[in-house]
Amino acid sequence: MRECAVKVNGVIRRDMIKDNELLLDFLRDKLEVRSVKAACWRGECGLCTVELNGRLVKSCLVLAVEANGGDVKTVEGLAENGELAPIQKAFVEHGASQCGFCTPAWVLASHELLKRNPDPSDADIEEATAGLLCRCGTYAQIKEAIHSVSRSGSKQPLKQLVEGVG
């Protein structure tokens, strides 16, 4: 046990952290940041993705003590003044989630990708989100949502979208 201070979505949270506590469990269970989903616990599904010190990490593979003094951002931190971020609106508009369980991770990863690359191609999106799974298979709609808020704002032609599904 050690006292740690972690900035979560702009607010410094202090708590006692056990050395063997995962960042995932610390965020979800202790701080009740429930957008961080627990599913595989082994770095495969990516649904526990959070931003730690500006980089995306799978929080089931990070010790909570490693985040001591660090800066964590989750999807709860994207909205500003009660208004959803553009990528969040785009997910809603394009039906880029079905059951919604994986959506926070995808929104966060899409947001991070657009920060680095304001105009990503389909291949860029596939590469950047290779560590995320969506069991409902909303991949095509997610791409559409990302393209809709990219710099060029270009929507993918329907033909390409259908081929992407096949």
Binding-site ranges for other proteins (CB under 8 A): 18-22, 25, 38, 41-44, 46, 49, 55-58, 61-63, 65-66, 127-128, 130-131
Report helix angle 86-93 to 139-148, nearest 10: 130
**Least CB distance to other proteins at residue 135 (A):** 14
Q: Judged by CB, which is closer to other proteins: 87, or 109?
A: 109
**Least CB distance to other proteins at residue 38 (A):** 7
**Helix, strand, coil content of the chain in percent (nearest 5):** 40, 15, 45
Q: Judged by CB, which is closer to other proteins: 84, or 164?
A: 164
**Least CB distance to other proteins at residue 88 (A):** 21
56: number of Cβ within 10 Å: 21
**Least CB distance to other proteins at residue 40 (A):** 9
**Least CB distance to other proteins at residue 124 (A):** 11
Spatial separation of the C-alpha atoms in residues 131 and 49, rounded to whole Å:
9
- Asked whether the beta carbons of 27 and 74 are under 8 A apart, the reply is yes
Q: Judged by CB, which is closer to other proteins: 130, or 162?
A: 130
Spatial separation of the C-alpha atoms in residues 57 and 51, rounded to whole Å:
6
Spatial separation of the C-alpha atoms in residues 148 and 25, rounded to whole Å:
34
Q: Judged by CB, which is closer to other proteins: 41, or 101?
A: 41
Q: Judged by CB, which is closer to other proteins: 58, or 94?
A: 58
